[in-house]
Amino acid sequence: IVTTPEKWDIVTRQGEGRAYTQLVKLVIVDEIHLLHDDRGPVLESIVARVIRQVETTAEPVRLVGLSATLPNYADVATFLRVDPEKGMFFFDHTYRPVPLQMQYLGITERNAFRRFQLQNEICYEKATGQRKQGNQMLIFTHSRAETGKTAKALRDLAMERDELSLFVREGGATQEILREELSTVKNADLKDVLSYGFAIHHAGMARPDRELVE
């Protein structure tokens, strides 16, 4: 059964379905870091109900929590009644087949507009560093709206510094292909930056636009 926490919470609350829900012997909670979110109370009630079922029926139910962004995994493991020696698994960057380098850059600027500018300037320096090595890159933003704003800001910085050739060569085959594709693009932000070698992607875009970027 693949379901949402809210739906499973309703199903397990109803007494008439208990005969069927008790047949479930494995409960996997994906994105369990949502305990610290609006949906947290629902997840808590599901976990508590599973643990209570095990205690009252003496029939084991395996409870698995998964997350890629959970710094306090040991606390959550305690909440799930996990034996830390046998049932808690933490996979850091050393398990990756491709090495991962992490770098944290702090920005202390309090003015929102200036902070956005600084973020884009730092992002641009990192992007050009990768382009000079012939690499492509993915840049993640905080919202759908910021995908377009960030792409335009990076494009503008490249134009100001006369470095557009780092992203797409003027008169090259790639630029010609991108310009030809513009006629099919529906998203205004994507249409604005695509011919310069930049693109955006988020769930609010039309499927043809997303498939084009992919």
pLDDT in tens, 154-213: 999 999 999 999 998 887 888 888 888 888 999 999 999 999 999 999 999 999 999 999
| Tens-digit pLDDT profile for residues 100-134 | 788 888 889 889 889 989 999 999 999 999 999 99
State the Cα–Cα distance between residues 16 and 25, nearest whole angstrom.
18
pLDDT for 77 beyond 80: yes
DSSP track, 146-197 = HHHHHHHHHHHHHHHTT-GGGTS-TTSHHHHHHHHHGGG---HHHHHHGGGT
Distance of alpha carbon 214 from alpha carbon 43, whole angstroms: 34
pTM (2 decimals)? 0.63
**Amino acid identity, residue 112?**
A
Q: How does pLDDT run across 2-42, given as a tens digit for each residue? A: 888 898 888 888 766 677 888 889 999 999 998 888 888 99
